Amino acid sequence: MQLSIAATAWSEATLRGDMNCDYQIDLSDALKLLKATTSIEIGNSWCSADVNSDRKSDLTEILFVLQSVSGLHHPLDRAYLPLSPGDTWQYKVTDANTGLPAAPYTKTYYCSGETLIGGKSVLVLNMTEDQGPNVSYEEYYQISPSEVTYWGNTSTEDFISQQTSPIIEIPFFINPGDSWSILDNENILWEDLDADLQGEATLISRQGTFIDFTNVSTASGNFSNCAHLQYQTSYEITLSGSGGKVNVSQTRDTYLYPMVGPVKILTTTVATGPGGTSQKSFEENLVSFRVSGLGRNYTSPKIIAEHLAQANSDTQTPGRPGIGTNGKDHLIVTYRKFGSPNGLVGILMVPDISLYKEFIIDSYTGNFPNPAVGFDGKNYLVVYQKNGVIRGVRVTPTGQVIDKNGGFTVSTGSSNWTPAIAFDGSQYLVAWNKYNDQTGHDIYGAVISPEGQTQTEFPISTQTRNQTQSTLAFDGVNFLAAWVDERNAVSPDYYSNVYGARISKNTVVLDLEGLPVATANTYKSRPLLDFDGNNYFITWQDIPETGISPPISSIFARRITPDGALLDGSAETNGIAVNTTAVGKSFLTLAFDGQYHRIAWCVGAYNNSPPVGIYSAMVSKDGTLIDGPADSLGQLVLGPPPSFTKYAHPILSVNGNSKIMTWVNNIELSGTVKNLMSITLPP
C-alpha cells in the first residue's frame, strides 16, 4: 500500500508557483508524484483507505504497526504481522479535521497467495479501492524472522518502488522509543513535471519511531494496548527547468493490534510551494477484518453443503440457490446432483453461520431447480422447478418438511422455470416463466396459502416474443412483478427490456400492457426487486454487447412508486448508476437491510485474470449510491477464488443485524466436486 497524498484536495493557491518561461505547475501534480513515491508497505493483507486514491502506504509502516500491536508490552515481532493467504482488511476514510467522509470510499487488501520475485518467495497482496475506475494492483512482501522486505508492486503510478525495491521496510524486535531509518536522502528521478522533457530529481527520507502503547476504538471494536508507530517522510522535488522546489512532509500514525494488524491510521501531510502552505489530515478506521480464519464483522468463508455436483464449467449445476429468513435464522436451499442424498437440500443456519443443519426437502434427480424461499410468520415455503413443473414444499423453522414426497403442484404444463416468491401478510404470490409453442415464454403467477392450498395459475404477461427471469416484491397493498421482456427485440440487435406489472392481492393484473422500466437499446439481464417501505427498488444488469463471458456490462437501478411511477428518469434512461466499470460481471443479487439496498455481483472469472472476486454497493432509500463512484470496482466482498474455480450465484440475506452471503464455488478441476459456501458480511 502506498501513502496517498490527496493531491486534488490541496489549495491551488498554495500549490501553484511561477516557473521559468511563464510556466505554472500545480503542486498537486508534485503531490501526485509523491503518492506514487511513497512506498509505505503494509505487511499484511491490509485495507488502508488512503486519500483520493492517490497512493499506497508503505507496507513497512503498517507491518511495523502490526508487530507492535500485540497488546503485550514486548518488542515488535512476527506475531504482530498475521499475514497469510485469505486474510482481508477494510478501512473507511474520513477527514480528520471534520470527521466527515472524505469522498467516502474503502480500500481493501487481500492476501491471495505467494509468487516468486528475484528467486524469492513473496506474499501477494491484492489491493482494490472503490474510488476511481479499475483501481487495483498487487504488492509483494517477504517476511523473515528478522525483518519485512518490500519487493514492489504492479501499480503504473509508483515510480519510487521501481527504483528502490527491494528495501527493508520493518526490522523486528523494536521497543517503544526505538527509531529506525527506512530511506536516507535517497535520490530518485521523477517524471517530468515542468514540461521540459526531463525528469525531476527527488530527495526522499523516511524514518519510523515506536511511540508507545495506547487504546483505540474503531467500528470493528475496542483494541487495548495498541502499538503506536509513527512514520515521518520528507520529499524535496527540484524542478529541472526552473530549479524551483516543492517540499512535502508527511506524518503517519499507525496503531497496531496483535493478530489483527493496523486498526487506525492518521495521516497528516503538509505541502509548501511558491504559493504558500496547505495541510490535510485523514483518518482511516478499520471497519472489518478476517485474519487467519478469525475476524470481526467478517467470518471466514465456510462450506455449508458439499459434493453438490461433479467439477465442470457449467454454472447451472447445481445452479442458483434460494434463501429466506424467519427473522432469526436463515434457510438456504440448493440442489445436490452428486453424492448422497440426491435432490433438493435445505440448510438451516444461525445468523453468525456457526451452526447449521442440512436436510432433504425433495429427493429426486433432475436439473435447474432455481429454488426461491418465502416465510409467512410460521413456516417457510420453498418453490422450485422439478421436471418442468413448479412445485411447493412447506418447511418448519426447525427444518421439518411438512409436505412430503415432493410437495404440491403450483403450475400446469411441463415447461415452467425460474420461480420467484413474495408474501403479502396472508398469502404468497409465486411468479415464473412458462413456455408454449404459440407464444414462447410468458410470465405466469399463482397464489398459495400458508396451508399449502394453490389457486389456479393466471397470466401476468403474454406479450409477443419472450418474457423471462421474473422477480417479485410486495408494497403492503399490491405486488409488483418485473421481468426481462423481448417484445421490442427486432433485427438486427434484438435488444431486450425490463417491464413490470402491479398485481392486486386478488390476482388482478393492474398493468395489462406492462410498465416499461428499462428500455434503452441494450440487452438486460437478472432484474431484481425489493420494497423499502416507501418505494420499490429494481436493479438489473445492462449488457451493451453479447458474446463475451462474463459480459462487459453495467449495473443500473431505479425506484418505482407503489402506483407505478418511475422516480429516477424515464424508462429510456439508465436510472441510478450502481456500477459502470468496464469489466466482466455476472450473477447479480439484491437485498434490503432496513436502511440500504445492498447489491452484489461477481467480477471476472478465474484468479489468474484480475480483477476477480465478488463486489458490492449500497444505495440509500433516496436513490443515492453510498459506496464510492459508479465507475469504481465497488466494495470487495470476497477476493479471488481458488485455482480452477469461478464464483457463481451469490445471494444475500438480511435478518436484522445479520447479513450473510452464500455462493457456489464452481470448481472445474477434474476429479473434484462443487460446494456451497457462506460468509457473514460487515455492517
Does residue 261 surpass a pLDDT of 60? yes
C-alpha cell at 131: 474510488
Cβ atoms 408, 386 nearer than 8 A:
no
For residues 277 and 378, state if they share a domain.
Answer: no
pLDDT at 289: 79
Amino acid at 71: G
pLDDT per residue as tens digits for the range 65-96: 333 333 344 577 776 777 887 788 888 877 77
C-alpha cell at 341: 442424498
For residues 277 and 383, state if they share a domain.
Answer: no
How many CB atoms lie under 10 A from the CB of residue 242? 17
Q: Which of 85, 86, 103 shows the shortest CA–CA distance to 94?
A: 103
pLDDT-derived band of residue 1, with 50, 70 and 90 as boundaries?
A: very low
Q: Which residues contact 658 (CB under 8 A, 6 or more apart)?
A: 330, 351, 352, 680
Q: Does the N-terminal peptide bond of residue 642 adopt cis geometry, omega within 30 degrees of 0?
A: no
Residue 50 lies in a domain: yes
pLDDT at 84: 81
Q: Please give the biggest Cα pair distance in the chain.
A: 87
pLDDT at 324: 96
Distance CA 145, CA 488 (A): 66
Instruction: Quickly tell me which residue has 393492474 as its cell.
Output: 510
pLDDT-derived band of residue 103, with 50, 70 and 90 as boundaries?
A: low
Burial annotation 473-483 (CB, 10 A radius, 16+ → b, else e):
bbbeebbbbbb
For residues 576 and 671, state if they share a domain.
Answer: yes
Is 335 strand, coil or helix? strand
pLDDT-derived band of residue 34, with 50, 70 and 90 as boundaries?
A: very low
pLDDT-derived band of residue 299, with 50, 70 and 90 as boundaries?
A: low
For residues 291 and 310, state if they share a domain.
Answer: no
C-alpha cell at 113: 497467495
- More confident site: 641 or 160: 641
How many helices (DSSP H) and strands (DSSP E) are in the chain?
Answer: 4, 43
SS (H, E, C) 481-505: EEEEECCCCCCCCCCCEEEEEEECC
Distance CA 556, CA 592 (A): 16
pTM of the model as a whole: 0.68
pLDDT-derived band of residue 164, with 50, 70 and 90 as boundaries?
A: confident
Residue 653 lies in a domain: yes
**Which of 241, 263, 295 is the last residue before a domain boundary?**
295
pLDDT per residue as tens digits for the range 352-366: 787 789 999 999 988
Distance CA 513, CA 287 (A): 47
Tell me what the mean pLDDT of segment 232-240 comes to: 88
Residue 328: is it exposed, middle or buried by C-beta count within 10 angstroms (0-12/13-18/19+)?
A: exposed
- Residue 648 sits in which domain range? 302-461+537-554+567-680
**Which of 271, 295, 319 is the last residue before a domain boundary?**
295
| From 296-300, 473-477, 560-564, the region with the lowest mean pLDDT | 296-300
Is 68 strand, coil or helix? helix
Does residue 310 surpass a pLDDT of 60? yes
pLDDT per residue as tens digits for the range 580-634: 999 999 999 999 999 899 999 999 999 888 889 998 999 999 999 987 689 888 8
Task: Mark out the alpha helices in 401-476 (DSSP H runs).
Answer: none
pLDDT-derived band of residue 128, with 50, 70 and 90 as boundaries?
A: confident
Domain count, the chain: 2
pLDDT at 582: 92
For residues 356 and 249, state if they share a domain.
Answer: no
Residue 523 lies in a domain: no
Q: Which of 355, 479, 483 shows the shortest CA–CA distance to 429?
A: 479
Does residue 60 surpass a pLDDT of 50? no
Of the chain, the percentage scoring pLDDT greater than 90 comes to: 48
Residue 660 lies in a domain: yes
Sign of the C-alpha dihedral computed for residues 148, 154, 157 and 161 taken in this order: positive
CATH code for the domain of 544: 2.120.10
For residues 226 and 362, state if they share a domain.
Answer: no
HSE-up of residue 644 (Cα within 13 Å, Cβ side): 10
For residues 284 and 317, state if they share a domain.
Answer: no
**Which of 246, 275, 295 is the last residue before a domain boundary?**
295
Question: Which residues on adjacent β-strands are paired with residue 653?
Answer: 660
Q: Which residues contact 474 (CB under 8 A, 6 or more apart)?
A: 422, 423, 424, 429, 480, 531
Cβ atoms 628, 104 nearer than 8 A:
yes
Does residue 150 surpass a pLDDT of 70? yes
Cβ atoms 396, 346 nearer than 8 A:
no
Does residue 476 surpass a pLDDT of 60? yes
C-alpha cell at 400: 421439518
For residues 324 and 364, state if they share a domain.
Answer: yes
pLDDT at 13: 28
Does residue 474 surpass a pLDDT of 70? yes
- φ, ψ (nearest 5 deg) of residue 338: -130, 145
Residue 68 lies in a domain: yes
In whole numbers, what is the pLDDT of the chain averaged over residues? Answer: 83
Distance CA 236, CA 231 (A): 17
Residue 504 lies in a domain: no
pLDDT at 58: 35
Residue 480 lies in a domain: no
pLDDT per residue as tens digits for the range 178-234: 998 988 888 888 788 788 888 888 899 989 899 998 999 887 778 888 889 899 989
Residue 415 lies in a domain: yes
For residues 263 and 158, state if they share a domain.
Answer: yes
pLDDT-derived band of residue 520, with 50, 70 and 90 as boundaries?
A: very high
Tell me what the mean pLDDT of segment 483-508 comes to: 94
For residues 241 and 285, state if they share a domain.
Answer: yes
DSSP helix, strand, coil percent of the chain (3-state; round to 5):
5, 50, 40
Cβ atoms 259, 291 nearer than 8 A:
yes
C-alpha cell at 101: 467522509
pLDDT at 271: 81
Does residue 172 surpass a pLDDT of 70? yes
| From 218-222, 261-265, 284-288, the region with the lowest mean pLDDT | 218-222
pLDDT at 525: 95
HSE-up of residue 408 (Cα within 13 Å, Cβ side): 17
Does residue 540 surpass a pLDDT of 90? yes
Cβ atoms 668, 675 nearer than 8 A:
no
pLDDT at 574: 95
Amino acid at 299: T
For residues 405 and 382, state if they share a domain.
Answer: yes
For residues 259 and 308, state if they share a domain.
Answer: no
pLDDT at 105: 61
- More confident site: 19 or 292: 292
pLDDT at 45: 28
- More confident site: 58 or 201: 201
E strand residue ranges, 118-220? 120-129, 136-143, 147-153, 167-171, 179-190, 200-218
